[in-house]
Amino acid sequence: MKHTLFAISTVVLVWAVGASAQAFPNRAQDQVKAVATLPDIADLVKVIGGDQVQVKAICKGTENVHAVRLKPSHVVMTSRCDAFFQVGLSLEHAWVPGLIKTSRNREIQAGQPGLVTLSQGLTVLNVPTSLSRREGADLHPEGNPHVNLAHNAGRHMAALIRDTLTRMRPKHQAEFDRRFKAFESQSLKAEARWAKLEGALKGRKVIVYHTEFTYLLNDLGIQVIATIEPKPGVPPTPGHLTKVIQTARENPGVVILTAAWSNNRAVDRVVTVGKGKKLVLASMARSGQSWLASMEAMHVALAKAFQVPYGMEPDKPAPPAKPANADEKQTKS
């Protein structure tokens, strides 16, 4: 996987601070100014904070989260924010520490309460037993960091956001609690719907390029039978690719999950030679999309790829009742 890290210079910072008034336009308000790494998080901050927050996301949802190209505007917003929300577990490690340091914002430096890591407290999968660099650097040194795709991640992150906002604006505690409860109820409904899909998908097999869908697949009981990257962030060698193609051939029509930013030449080779079925998913929400909508879209796409029926029945109004005589006719016939 290709890494690109935009070098943020002091010159950029000086410019950025000068232009900071544009970062959060309504500075007269007593709102919490927040920066979120992912659009998923920005959505949850808004859902819980409502009118008491202004939030901006750095990722657009169309890029590789391990290698985000930073812009001067990101320094602007980070230098003036009250709270900085990240997933953590080294997900944003290639660009967040540099951004925070360059921002010179004391409130969000490591160890300060303004820097909030939302993966804290979630169960982490794929924690490496050894950190051998023989096959190249591991992009997931603390375990799989793509926890934002776990079914319960929305509620977990929203609870930590509620606690942070309550600490910063205690007088609005009741509002944050009310908003959290409304989200929790919505999420539980969605999770029940996704659990039904788990019943239909449990035991199905996929091949993945990068291990970014692990939590989602794990929650759905879908088995990963091969990973095109031999190690997170390490492109496949020809020998490894041959083994993956062989696995695909042994599982005709196997779904191959990838993201738009992955090395899709390797994926296409597995699809073509191994006769698999390619499915491109995003590993985060897109700008302006809610976490719930993003997760829902992924479940819809997976159901379609596996040709399993899936709908949003629990949220649909009940169909109109049949006229009493219609039932009578059926009984008679």
* Residue 245-264 contact track with Zn ion, rule CB under 5 A, x = bound: --------------------
Q: In terms of CB distance, is 212 or 296 closer to Zn ion? A: 212
In the complex with Zn ion, which residue's Cβ is closer, 40 or 212? 212
Write down the least CB distance from residue 1 to Zn ion, Å. Answer: 8
How many residues interact with Zn ion (rule CB under 5 A)?
Answer: 1
Instruction: Compute the least distance from the CB of residue 149 to Zn ion, in Å.
Output: 11
Pure H helices in the chain: 10-18, 39-49, 72-80, 96-103, 153-168, 173-201, 214-220, 238-250, 264-273, 291-305, 324-332
Residue 117 main-chain phi, psi, to 5 deg: -105, 110
Pick from 178, 127, 118, 123: nearest CA to 154: 118
Q: How many C-alpha atoms does 101 have within 13 Å on its Cβ side?
A: 10
**To the nearest whole angstrom, how small is the minimum distance from the Cβ of residue 226 to Zn ion?**
17
* Least distance in angstroms from the C-beta of 282 to Zn ion: 13
Task: Using the minimum distance from each CB to Zn ion, give the nearer residue, 219 or 229.
Answer: 229
| Smallest separation, CB 139 to Zn ion (Å) | 5
Name residues whose C-beta falls within 8 Å of residue 291's C-beta, 6 or more positions apart in sequence. Answer: 40, 43, 44, 148, 153, 154, 157, 285
Q: Which is nearer to Zn ion, 54 or 148 (CB)?
A: 148
Q: Give the residue with the Cβ less far from Zn ion, 23 or 94.
A: 94
- Closest approach, Cβ 232 to Zn ion, in A, equals 5
Q: Looking at beta carbons only, is 80 or 240 nearer to Zn ion? A: 240
Rounded to an integer, what distance in angstroms lies between the CA atom of residue 101 and that of residue 10?
A: 11
What is the spatial distance between Cα 139 and Cα 163, in angstroms, rounded to a whole number? 30
Structure tokens at 171: 């007088």
Minimum CB separation of residue 230 from Zn ion in Å reads 14
| In the complex, minimum distance from the CB of residue 322 to Zn ion, in angstroms, rounded to a whole number | 51
The gap between the terminal CA atoms of the chain, to the nearest Å, is: 65
The Cα diameter of the chain in Å comes to: 84
* Contacts with Zn ion, 11-50, as mask; x by CB under 5 A: ----------------------------------------
Which CB atom, from 43 or from 212, has the smaller least distance to Zn ion? 212
- The Cα–Cα gap between 76 and 54 comes to 14
Q: Which of residues 113-142 bind Zn ion (CB under 5 A)?
A: none
Question: Could you give the angle at the alpha carbon of 289 between the alpha carbons of 284 and 295, nearest 5°?
Answer: 50
Could you say which residues in the range 195-254 bind Zn ion, by CB under 5 A?
212
Angle at 283 between CA 277 and CA 288, to 5 degrees: 120
Closest CA to 34 of 49, 18, 13, 12: 49
Cβ-based nearer residue to Zn ion, 17 or 280: 280
Residues of this chain that bind Zn ion (CB under 5 A): 212
